[in-house]
Amino acid sequence: MDELYRLTIHQACQLLRQGSLSSAELTSACFKRIEQVDNKIHACVTICPDIALEQAREADRLIRSGENLDPLTGIPALIKDNISTKGIKTTCSSKMLQNFVPPYDATVIRHLKARNVVILGKTNMDEFAMGSSTENSAFFPTRNPWDLSRVPGGSSGGSAAAIAADEAVYALGSDTGGSIRQPAGFCNVVGLKPTYGRVSRFGLVAFASSLDQIGPITKNVTDCALVLNAIAGSDPNDSTTAPYPTPDYTRALIPEIKNLRLGVPREYFVEGMQQEVRTALEIAIRKLEELGAKVDTDVSLPHTRYALAVYYIIAPSEASANLARYDGVKYGYSYQETDNMWEAMEKTKQNGFGPEVKRRIMLGTYALSAGYYDAYYLKAQKVRTLIKNEFDQVFQKYDALITPTSPTVPFKLGERIDDPLQMYLSDVCTLPVNIAGLPAISIPAGFAHSLPVGMQIIGKPFGEETILRIAFTYEQATEWHKRKPEI
C-alpha cells in the first residue's frame, strides 16, 4: 500500500495483525513523511528515529509471537513536548527547559509503553502551554497544513498540525483552556479533552493544575476511543484522578443517537463569530437532528460570558505558583554570570521565559497578592462554582451540548500576537469546559473559506462514552474527516 502514513490506528492494527505490514515499515514511512513536509509545517521539536525503530522492531517481534496484543502495539505516535518522556528531551518549547531530559516517564507514557507503542518524537507548542496559536514557542511557530500562512491553533498546535499532515498516526496533547480542541478544530482532526481526573497528570509539566488534562488528537473518532482506552484510569501518583473503573470506550461507538437530547447554548454563538462558521455549525446541527437526536436550540448558560475573565484569573494564578520552581538552581536554564544569588534567579527568569509566560506570571502574581486576592482570585473561584452549577442544571435535561469549537476559522500568523485579548477570545467556546471539569470533543464539521470548522460536543462529568457516540454517529454520516490538506 502506498502512503502508509495515511493509515488510521484501526487500519494499521489490522494490517499489522495480518502480517501484511510491519511496525518498522510504518515507522519508517512516518519519518519519511516528516522529512517531506515538516520543513514547511514545523510541527516537531524533537524526533528520535533510533529509539522509535528499536521500539518498532520489538513490537514486530511481539506481533509475530502471536500474543494477544493491544490495538496500539507498534503504532507510531507523537507526544506534546510538555509530557515527560524518559531519555527524550521535554522542553515545553521554552528556553527554560530547552536541554531538559526527564529521568522518568509521565503516567500516560508508561501506559503507552506497556502497550508497545512507537514514540516518534515531541511536538511544538506554545511555551508552557500558554497560547492559542503555537506562535509563543521559543523555537519557531508551527503552520497550519491547510494554509501555511495561518496558525494551527494552540497550545497543542504541533500535535494537531502533525496529525492533519499525517506525520504520525496519532498524537497526545494537553488541554488547559481548549488546547486540544481548538487546534483540532483548526486542523480538521479529532481532539478530546477528558473529564478532569479521568487521565493522570503525573509527568505533565504543570501550567494550571486545576484545569490541565491530557488527551488524544487523532484522525477519526474510533482512534480517539482507542487512545483514551490506553491512557485513562486512576493513578496513585496523581491524587486528583478519579477512583472509577475505566470502560472500554470503543463499545460506545454505535452509530445511533435516536432520542438523545442535545442542547445548543446560545451564548456560544458569540458576537463577532464569523457568519460562515455559524452557517457550517447550523448545517452540522441539522444533520444531528436528521440522525434522530432531539435538538433544542434555545438553551441558556448565562454565566458563560464570565468564563473568559474567570479563566484569566485562575489559570495565571496557578501558573505563577507552578512556574516559581524555575529558579535556575535544580534544573533547566541557569544564568551564571554573577556572584549574586538573587540576581542569578532574577536573570534566569528574565532570560528563560518568553513574553507570554511572563505576562501570565505577572497577572497571576498580581491576582494573588495581598489586597487583591479577595477581589480577583476568590471572586473568580466563586463564579467558577456558578458556571459549574449551571452546567449541572442543564445536564439534568440534556445528554450533551453542541457548540462551535472556535468562533472563527484559523487566523493568519502574526495577526493576533500583539493583541492578547483577541488571542484569548479564540478560546471563548472551550474555556468553560475546563472551568467546570467536563469532557468535550472537537470533530470536523465543515469548511468556511476553504478552512476547517470544528464542532464541539460537551458531555456530563465522566460522560465520554456519550460524546464519543454522538461524534461517531455524525462522523459516519459525513465526509469532512476524510478531507486532507495539500501540502
Determine which one of 22, 132, 133, 155 is catalytic. 155
The pLDDT, as a whole number, for residue 423 is 82
Omega of the bond leading into 406 within 30 degrees of 0 (cis): no
The pLDDT, as a whole number, for residue 69 is 83
The answer to whether 345 touches 324, Cβ cutoff 8 Å, is no
User: Which DSSP symbol is given to 250?
Assistant: G
E strands present in 320-465 = 400-404, 440-448, 451-459
Residue 56's CB is within 10 A of a number of other CB atoms, namely 26
How far apart (Å, rounded) are the C-alpha atoms in residues 254 and 243? 26
**In this structure, are strands 170-175 and 118-123 parallel, antiparallel, or unpaired?**
unpaired
The pLDDT, as a whole number, for residue 341 is 84
DSSP reduced 3-state for 240:
coil
Residue-number span of the structural domain to which 201 is assigned: 1-487
Is 156 one of the catalytic residues?
A: no
DSSP reduced 3-state for 125:
coil
The answer to whether 157 touches 89, Cβ cutoff 8 Å, is no
What predicted TM-score, i.e. pTM, was given to this entire model? 0.96
What single-letter amino acid sits at 252? A
The answer to whether 214 touches 77, Cβ cutoff 8 Å, is no
The answer to whether 444 touches 311, Cβ cutoff 8 Å, is no
The pLDDT, as a whole number, for residue 229 is 98
Signed CA dihedral, 169, 182, 440, 297: sign only? negative
Per-residue pLDDT of the chain (487 residues; tens, 9 = 90+): 569 999 999 999 999 999 999 999 999 999 999 999 999 999 999 999 999 999 999 999 999 998 778 999 999 999 999 999 999 999 999 999 999 999 999 999 999 999 999 999 999 999 999 999 999 999 999 999 999 999 999 999 999 999 999 999 999 999 999 999 999 999 999 999 999 999 999 999 999 999 999 999 999 999 999 999 999 999 999 999 999 999 999 999 999 999 999 999 999 998 889 999 999 999 999 999 999 999 999 999 999 999 999 999 999 999 999 998 988 888 888 888 888 888 888 888 888 888 999 999 999 999 999 888 999 999 999 999 999 999 999 999 999 999 999 999 999 999 988 887 788 778 899 999 999 999 999 999 999 999 999 999 999 999 999 999 999 999 999 999 999 999 8
The pLDDT, as a whole number, for residue 272 is 83
Tell me whether residue 403 is exposed, middle or buried, using C-beta atoms within 10 angstroms of its C-beta: 0 to 12, 13 to 18, 19 or more: buried
**In this structure, are strands 400-404 and 451-459 parallel, antiparallel, or unpaired?**
antiparallel
Is 406 one of the catalytic residues?
A: no
Q: CA 449 → CA 47, 147, 160, distances in Å? A: 33, 11, 20
Q: What is the CATH number of the domain that holds 121?
A: 3.90.1300.10
Of 157, 45, 49, the closest CA to residue 91 belongs to 45
Is 149 one of the catalytic residues?
A: no
How far apart (Å, rounded) are the C-alpha atoms in residues 327 and 350? 10
The answer to whether 194 touches 217, Cβ cutoff 8 Å, is no
Residue 339, H or E segment? none
The answer to whether 434 touches 178, Cβ cutoff 8 Å, is yes
User: Which DSSP symbol is given to 199?
Assistant: B
Determine which one of 23, 179, 200, 320 is catalytic. 179
Total domains, the chain: 1
**Radius of gyration over every alpha carbon of the chain, rounded to an integer in angstroms:** 21
The answer to whether 122 touches 90, Cβ cutoff 8 Å, is yes
How many residues belong to the chain? 487
Beta bridge partners, 217, equal: 171, 191
Determine which one of 22, 23, 28, 80 is catalytic. 80
The pLDDT, as a whole number, for residue 447 is 97
The answer to whether 98 touches 138, Cβ cutoff 8 Å, is yes
What grid cell was written down for 95? 528556553
